[in-house]
Chain A
Amino acid sequence: MAAADSPSAALQRRDLCSRGIRLAGKMRADVVDLLDTYVERQGLDASASVAAVEGVPSAAVERWDEQTGTQRLLENLAAYRAFRALLAQMLEEQREQLGDADAALGRALAAVLLQVSAFAYHLEELLRLESRGIPGEEGAGPPPPPRLSLFEQKLRGLGVLRELAQWAVRSARDLRQLAKPSPAAGSAPGLAESP
């Protein structure tokens, strides 16, 4: 059962949600800028279609409005943890490929990685507030993907950033749903746990 919705818990939740929404907004703006830089520096076509890439969490969701608060938090957390690993990998690849030649792109990637980590932590705080156990991160993580060609790496990076930009919008929407006062009956999707 979710924690009793005491006034202070409700206030804390609202405060965390508001800050989370601002974080998500800033993150999205930075990811959009990073996308422009990435496309330019990597010599890609901005309108290139990228097929769904394995390991990149898709922001697309059906029946979004019917999700419970807990579902939203858990899905968001899983996604940002995955992005944290993916961005770290991209940063590593970028350093290998270009070294110090493109410090600007490296800095932009690192800045977004920091925000993604901060947002993941923020989500953990929200889950803690709901007295929900925070799912552990998989120990060894998934096996490293097969070595991709340079071009494949670049396309993959494009896919990662595009999906992250979608997630940033979705997260702001999710947090707004969470910030809504919980209904007394707890049957409507809010932070009530599904039976």
Chain B
Amino acid sequence: DSHVQYERVGADVTMKCGSMDWDAAVTWTANGTDIDESHLNGSYLILKNVDLSQSGQYSCYEGSSWHLKYQTYLRVGTPPKEPVLMCRSNNYPKGFYCSWHLPTPTYIPNSFNISVIHGTKDMVCEKDAIPKNRCHIRYLQLFSTVKYKVTLTVTNALGKNFTTLTFDEFAIVKPDPPESVVAKPVPNNPRRLEVSWQNPSSWPDPESFPLKFFLRYRPLILDQWQHVELSDGTSHTITDAYAGKEYIIQVAAKDNDIGTWSDWSVAVHATPWTEEPKHLTTEAQITETTSASTSSFMAPPTTKICDKGAVVGSGAVAVCWTAGLVVAAYSVLFI
């Protein structure tokens, strides 16, 4: 006879050789390897303080004839700890799903039973094929103040455990993150980035159940995020980006009225538009182009330190201004 035997980690296990007498001469094997006689008490096999590595096939043979008298598959494991259960509606108002897992493995097969009660009504949670530890349920009522009570029981050969979750219809609404997030530079605008995205495809009716969005962005070189909340629309233009810096951008979604924010979307990277670098120019060309800069001060042609080239900066303006003053002062002295 071959069968399965489940034992707890740390337990002492005694195996009998089928119907053989205690004093019969027998040989035990574990996964085909002979077991030392020191583990025997007569014809009984004694395993003390079993651990996971002792799982396997145990066979008992009659001493002289080597007839197989008994065989068992020993599975060492643990009873289940309290399972972790989560319920969420990412497709409101269609329904919600619950998923679960065990915090630590039991090493032996477990079965799960889930019950959902809404007020006094029992509801059926249809188990998903994939993933296994998940079931989904359709809302029969909307806008109910009556709480849902979900109880998950996990059972194995060594014990059982359970957990219960109680929640409101609105509290578990959490959309999936927005999809297809795209960020693009805006031509001729060194401080802008155009971001667009789509509603998560799992959200069934964005027209009747509109989502609002939260955008966050920062240059890669900084840790601080900027945030923008958007009550409608699936696009936004960032207008305060640092010129020339690569940005990381993410978007999250939430039902306009109820529930919690989604996880952040996949991050996208973008760098604002930058002007093509100019070729090196002569002094004459620089003085001609100076008026196009933000500085309104015209540098004297001979003052090389005012050579700003394509760079515009308040520092450069101050240098030019100082040089101009010096020249003017000298001019006054020689009048």
**A binding-site residues for B, Cβ under 8 Å:** 25, 28, 49, 58-62, 64-65, 162-163, 166-167, 169-170, 172-173, 176-177, 180
Contacts and interface: CB of A to CB of B under 8 A. Distances in A.
B144 A60 contact: yes
Contacts of B145: 58-60, 162-163, 166
A190 B207 CA distance: 14
B257 A177 contact: no
A58 B207 CA distance: 25
Interface of B: 93, 140-147, 170, 207-210, 257-258
A59 B257 CA distance: 16
Name the residue in A60, A64, A163, A167 with the highest tally of chain B Cβ atoms < 10 Å from its Cβ. Answer: A60
User: Interface residues of B: mostly helix, strand, loop or mixed?
Assistant: loop
Contacts of B258: 169
Given A28-B257, A64-B93, A176-B208, 19 more contacts: A25-B257, A59-B143, A59-B144, A59-B145, A60-B142, A60-B143, A60-B146, A61-B141, A62-B141, A64-B142, A166-B144, A167-B143, A169-B170, A170-B142, A173-B208, A176-B209, A176-B210, A177-B208, A180-B208
Contacts, number: 45
A168 B221 CA distance: 45
B140 to A, nearest CB: 6
A66 to B, nearest CB: 11
A163 B143 CA distance: 9
A158 to B, nearest CB: 11
Contacts of B207: 176, 180
Contacts of A59: 143-145
Contacts of A176: 207-210
A87 to B, nearest CB: 17
